[in-house]
Structure 1
Amino acid sequence: MKNGPTSINILVRTLIFLFICNIIFLTAPPASALTHIDVNPTNTPGGAVILIIDGLGSSYVYPEITPYAIDGKTTEKPLVNNINIVSDNGLRALNMLTPSSEGETGHLVIVTGNSGATPAMISQTDATIYDIAHRNNYLAIGILQKGDIPELLTEQDIVVHDITTSINDPQMEVLTHSLYKSEYENLQTSLTEMMETNADLAPSYIDQYKEGSIERYYAYNRWAMDTAIEILGLMHENYPEQKFILTINVGAVDTAGLYRRSEGYADTIEDLDIMIGELYEVAEENGLALIITSDHGMAFQSADGRGGSKSDKYASQPEVLRIPFIVASKNLKSEILEGEFNQQDIAPTILNVLDVPDEMRFSNGRSLASKDYVNFKVILPEAGAVTIYRANETVSRASGDDSYVFYGLNRNEHYIIVVETTGETGNIIERNVFSDTDQVIRFSPSPDISKPVDSPEQKNTLRTFGSVLIVLINLAGLGIIFRIIKK
């Protein structure tokens, strides 16, 4: 009886020893903390609703633009009273261009802010708005009828998507991934149950209408919009403190352009516009930002002909390349942005609207958000103090951390940021910054020329030595465990 407990104790101690050794050698340096400082009040929305309307060209919904067919004749323009209302109460880019007429590419550009985005890019760290959102405690929810390539699906904490992308036979699937650890224990269960119930209802939305009828196109969009409204209600009523991004992708407008000619295209847009009115009301009541955009537009061979976007005769048409970009949020001014902008500007604008001053890894876009204030994220090489001055006035000061976010600084002001580090490289660094937009401001340590710098060869040697040591420790531990088990 004596040997049993003794062997177990040895085994436990060995496992603990191995665990500690691996932690020491394998883990990266501790993650940086982040201190939040409210310099002045902000009016940050509680989240964002991103409505991506496949195949919607701005030529068909912007009052300033007349859509033309390839043969030079004007095409039918739908009545979009609700889109106009959202535009009048928000920010609208008059000339927003997509770099590609491929739908998949458009979705990738929207979420990465990179004009040459690829599926492989999505899986990289900090590549998308969802990566940044997760780091700032947001939940990502998706309703994707199209734009549901695997890389984008995995960016969502919970998502429902159409595995057939068929208006006549929609088959909705709900996927859950490693959900952000919310303060609400039953959040994932509630969302999953709701979305699975709605997924089962999708075919019934379609089947009540005759196959091939335009009403099936309306119903396909309506299922997605009804599901979105229900999700917004659930989040508002049961989880009011949980920040989130809800991405809705409706696919019937694009399909109508391809198969229902310009008349069916316009009719499907008009029906969707009715639902956009309800979505806007709910978003506004719940303090959420609403973003309306598209992956690409649509061009028609003739005024009564079928449409397209991908083939050569369509792809270069302005009706294909011009996409809508409308943002309604309580912290934005209502204005029309003239000039030329690009689809890669959408992602950084969304982060700016959400008051998340952070950087996406591959973004080459710029924020178009027009707020009365800006936010600075200040990153230090090590723990230290940050003081922000305007002229001779101290605006804010914080200490004890290596990363800070200062919210509510005045826009279009000159600030002086002074950093005092306290570690081995302790010194004072100063920088002048103009507050035209949210910014990430990184301070690098000054090199100490009195200390030798390790060469790449030295670093590789140390790394190899550490790896060998880890292997030996693990082999020794396994040997001890096998001996105990054998006894």
Structure 2
Amino acid sequence: MKERRRCLIILCLLLGSISPSAGETPGSLVLLIVDGLGSYYIYPEFTPHTQSGKPLEKIAAPNLTEGDARVINLRVPVPRTGPAHSVIVTGDPEAEPEMLSSTTTIYDILHDEGFIALAVMEKGDFSSMRREQDAILYAESNSIHEPLFKIEQHQYQSVPREIIETMEERSSLMPGYMEDARGAEAYRRYNRFAIETAEELVRVMRENHPDERFILTINVGGVDSVGHHTNHTTYLKVIEGIDSDIKQLKDLCREEKIAFILTADHGMSFKRRESHGGHAGNDYKEMPESLHTPLILSAPNIEHGLISGEWEQENIAPTILSILDLPNLLSTDSRPLPIKRYANLYVITDAENVKLYQNERLISEAEGERIRFKNLSGRYTILATSEKTRIEESVTVREDTTLTLKMPEEATGERLERLERRHVVGILLILLINISGIILIRRVTR
């Protein structure tokens, strides 16, 4: 009986000390933007309609909609390609292409963290977007039937030679994709080229430079083009093509623990089943089919399930940073989706040392201009010190939080001494509780 009781106590102690796994931070991220893909045509929750209110068919797209998390209601502020791409990468609902050079983008923050920015873009490749990339393979012409692709390099981070060689090789293969292609098949092959090129770039990075972190942005343009130039039926056929072609890329990202995000810049609306579609004109821009886009996310550190509520396109940029465990230093107040399994506290400071306390107990200590305290919940006290100055700040962490601490010129040593005295008292109390617990356990197990 005593032995059984002893085992039970030990088991309880062990279980009490185990914390749930927060999940591994993905080292890289793939962002796929399907130009013109409306969520009304692939989500089971919605039914698309014509402008006159007649219901339209939609398709089952299991590979497109499968992911760790799926946002049901995501609305774009402006259903146009240039502004929408700008919103996605800045988190600013009023962003325009010309603003990218003067505002903070996800690429600016990722470059500062040592990420390589790569891109394959068939649309959304305006000049200011291209300049955000270290290397981009983009469609210099917007012709589906006579596509011309070009490589552009900016090299904020050094781009591996194998990546440029792969882009060059893939560009030379493009004419073969489009040979003898007609109708819906031409648009499907156009999309397939970008998706398979992206897959090859991921493989090259992982096989040759496994420790390099990167973001790969992909834009496939065939869905938008087919919507504008054909009809609703052909539009769905081209979406079915992407659903088939995307599976290997998503599987590769999952195997390599690379975060994968699928979204669109805007949707597509149709006046009639047989008419050409649109999204930006006065007849289309207020229709929900134009304004609602999919957002499907996969990463080893996010919760699984459907995300309800009303969300906006500007939430995508801070969510990307959150998934990668990077501070939100964007120029807007946009917040990330509440999908990560844990919360981080980021401290941006010129202090020489930063200590993190909770309930008078020292939790962690770090140095540097950008500090990350991972897997937090509750109220904390931050103590930042330098040679002559010290400051104390309280913060509640429920979601990723960024705190900027600039050291004052005058010393505040009394506050430090007060906190450190409380710290000593806290340690003594913890020791007393532990000793009492040990004595109690011994009495129970005799």
TM-score under structure 2 length normalisation = 0.84
Residue 398 of structure 1, CA deviation = 2.6
Match of 2:148 in 1: 171
Identity %: 35
The C-alpha deviation readout for 1:256-303, integer Å capped at 9, x for no partner, is 111220001111001100112111101101110110001100011023
Q: Which amino acid aligns with 2:375?
A: L
> Mapping of 1:63-102 within 5 angstroms?
63-86=44-67, 90-102=68-80
1:50 matched to 2:16? The reply is no
Distance in 1, Cα, partners of 2:98 & 2:275: 37
Distance in 2, Cα, partners of 1:165 & 1:46: 33
Distance in 1, Cα, partners of 2:255 & 2:355: 38
The C-alpha deviation readout for 1:53-96, integer Å capped at 9, x for no partner, is 0001111111111111111111120220212322xxx1222111
Whether the 8 Å contact between 2:66 and 2:296 is mirrored in structure 1 is no
> Mapping of 1:48-447 within 5 angstroms?
48-86=29-67, 90-124=68-102, 127-181=104-158, 188-210=160-182, 213-360=183-330, 362-380=331-349, 382-399=350-367, 401=368, 403-410=369-376, 412-423=377-388, 426-427=389-390, 429-446=391-408
The C-alpha deviation readout for 1:135-174, integer Å capped at 9, x for no partner, is 0010000000000100000111010000111111100001
SS at match of 2:66: helix
Distance in 2, Cα, partners of 1:331 & 1:148: 30
SS at match of 1:338: strand
Distance in 2, Cα, partners of 1:209 & 1:404: 52
SS at match of 1:323: coil
Whether the 8 Å contact between 1:353 and 1:369 is mirrored in structure 2 is no
Distance in 1, Cα, partners of 2:366 & 2:333: 31
Closer, same or farther in 2 for the Cα pair 1:197/1:144, shift >3 Å? same
Residue 407 of structure 1, CA deviation = 3.8
SS at match of 2:344: strand
Whether the 8 Å contact between 1:162 and 1:173 is mirrored in structure 2 is yes
Q: Which runs of 5+ in 2 are unaligned?
A: 1-20, 412-446
Residue 364 of structure 1, CA deviation = 3.5
Distance in 2, Cα, partners of 1:133 & 1:374: 19
Q: Which runs of 5+ in 1 are unaligned?
A: 1-39, 182-186, 450-487
Q: Which moved more, 1:72-81 or 1:368-377?
A: 368-377
Match of 1:467 in 2: none
Distance in 2, Cα, partners of 1:243 & 1:178: 14
Match of 2:426 in 1: none
The C-alpha deviation readout for 1:24-44, integer Å capped at 9, x for no partner, is xxxxxxxxxxxxxxxx97511
Q: Which amino acid aligns with 2:374?
A: G
Q: Which amino acid aligns with 1:54?
A: D
SS at match of 1:73: coil
Distance in 2, Cα, partners of 1:189 & 1:275: 27
> Could you say which structure has the greater relative contact order, defined with CA pairs below 8 angstroms and 6 or more residues apart?
1
Distance in 1, Cα, partners of 2:284 & 2:405: 48
C-alpha RMSD over aligned residues: 1.7
Q: Which amino acid aligns with 1:174?
A: I
Residue 363 of structure 1, CA deviation = 2.5
Q: Which amino acid aligns with 2:96?
A: T
Distance in 1, Cα, partners of 2:215 & 2:338: 17
Aligned residues: 391
TM-score under structure 1 length normalisation = 0.77
Whether the 8 Å contact between 2:379 and 2:394 is mirrored in structure 1 is yes
SS at match of 1:156: coil
